[in-house]
Structure 1
């Protein structure tokens, strides 16, 4: 991942002087681009095989009959690893795919055996790399993404046309999916970088899906770069880069304390193994304390 490029392209808060300077420099030197629809059309014509990366696991069942995840190398075939999460609402043959990744043939067959890819969720402006080839492979699959932020909307539009705002998933699948923004993460209720999703599971509990707002990677160089090693007890944390984009840390910490009151048994995210365990409400309460360093 090009960390400098990430900083230059993200509409970070004005409190981060270095990132703000990077944005200014990028704006001054950036060449004019073709219209978004032209860029998206070109992306759609790219062959599937040109996007395929090596998977780091088979399709893993995270919750029986409704939630799966597969880990693969990054878009440039290197770190950091990234996850694709697949959710099938109870009683439905449709699949909701979060942060789609172009996979080898045998893994795509595993995905297709679960049901029909019906909705492709582009969770934020960065996890969009394979959205166009997925849409080309499954033309009837609808694409949704956060649409409140002009920057997020325009960046995703350069890769794939968006059919509806992700919040509409709540209506599409009734009580199976809830979509909301994390209080304190976004500048306001409209400028939303990323939503979080709670997914109803067959056992009556819920899974919590978030893309880049929480990380839990294994110790190593990339964990050091992103500040994404797990907290005591294995709970994920807001990474070092993510903290640059927070607008109100106290409100975010309060949000996670409130989240701990819900009947959530699984947390899935884009980077790192899913978190599972009955003890996580106590862990998250501790992690949300300002001195513990979650945010």
Structure 2
């Protein structure tokens, strides 16, 4: 009997959750240095919203930093930065909330909590049991974030695993995705993984904005429902200024149109194949 979609997805998650730097008993400062991998500088996307790109193995990854209305910082998908990077982060404000978006993006969560004991760790309800294998969860995103003006969107047609966050900006709105959309452009890959980008092309994850071949295989449960959800999201958020994804270049222009394009890529003949070029 063939494995079910859920068992295949579970195997995928276990594989990509496996990586941990080698650990020996040490202080948190030493452990922090053990978790620092190559990364760029913090860059502003919009007033009150920043991102930084790191590289883990052959994959670029993104951390988002958002200034909350009360002045503290919300960290999405935390990445341990070198000391210059952390000094730059702290110059923006005090880390107050940290979203651990799913069970894969939890590598540096416990270290952030050690470094900032006052940091409130939150996660989607569905990810809580897995995140708590790494760090104590202080609250559920669906309960903590709406009173702060942040809308938590539950993706449709996707195996429950993560949320999409709609952040209010002074100039409009931002959408923060994690793994259900990638945007590994050629220029982005050339900048961050120039000698390893062929792996991401081989995996069907690069060169376009959309759900990847692996995402369709392991995350997608209803292609048409996901397609319609992306279209609806694009139509409803008229002031969309920024789209951030956990793996890829942030989108800062024509955001609603780009979401429509990502939805259009989901033709029926793509269910098991590679994305169109």
TM-score after normalising by structure 2? 0.80
Equivalent-residue separation in structure 1 for 2:207 and 2:166 (angstroms) = 21
Q: Is the 1:217–1:228 contact (alpha carbons within 8 Å) kept by the matching residues of 2?
A: yes
Q: CA shift at 1:183, angstroms?
A: 1.2
For residue 156 of structure 2, the aligned residue among 183, 188, 197 is 183
- The Cα of 1:16 is off from its aligned counterpart by 7.7
Aligned match for 2:53, one of 53, 71, 92: 71
Preserved contact between residue 169 and residue 179 of structure 1 (Cα < 8 Å): no
Find the partner of 1:258 among 220, 228, 232: 232
Count of residue pairs the alignment pairs up: 243
Matched, 1:107 2:75: no
Which residue pairs with 2:17 in the alignment?
none
In structure 1, the gaps of 5 or more residues are: 1-12, 27-41, 187-191
Change (3 A) 1:285 1:130: same
Q: Report what 2:191 is aligned to.
A: none
Q: Is the 8 A contact 2:124 2:141 kept in 1?
A: yes
Counterpart residue number, 2:166: 198
Which residue of 1 is the match for residue 35 of structure 2? 51
Q: Secondary structure of 2:59's partner?
A: coil
Cα 1:122–1:291 change in 2 (3 A) is same
Distance in 2 between residues matched to 1:291 and 1:255, nearest whole Å:
14
**Shift, 1:272, TM fit:** 1.0
> Is the partner of 1:241 in helix, strand or coil?
helix
Alpha-carbon distance change, 121 to 16 in structure 1, aligned in 2, over 3 angstroms: closer
Distance in 1 between residues matched to 2:113 and 2:6, nearest whole Å: 36
Q: 2: CA distance between counterparts of 1:226 and 1:134?
A: 31
Cα distance in 1 for residues equivalent to 2:234 and 2:178: 18
CA contact (8 A) 2:243 2:255 kept: no
Residue 140 of structure 1: how far off its partner (Å): 0.4
Whether 1:164 and 2:139 are equivalent positions in the alignment is yes
* 1:214–1:269 contact (8 Å) kept in structure 2: yes
Q: Distance in 1 between matches of 2:228 and 2:26?
A: 40
Q: Which residue of 205, 216, 221 corresponds with 2:183?
A: 216
Q: Which residue of 1 aligns with 2:65?
A: 86
1:199-247 alpha-carbon deviations (Å, 9 max, x no partner)? 01111x100001111101134323314422243xxxx210111112211
Give 1:271 deviation, angstroms. Answer: 0.8
Q: Distance in 2 between matches of 1:43 and 1:267?
A: 38
Give the superposed CA RMSD.
Answer: 2.6
Stretches of structure 2 that go unaligned for 5 or more consecutive residues are 15-24, 187-196
Q: Where does residue 242 of structure 1 map in the other structure?
A: 215
TM-score (norm 1): 0.75
How far 1:44 sits from its partner (Å)? 9.2
2:249 alignment partner, one of 245, 251, 273 = 273
For the structure 1 residues 104 and 127, does the alpha-carbon distance in structure 2 shift closer, same or farther, using more than 3 Å as the test? same
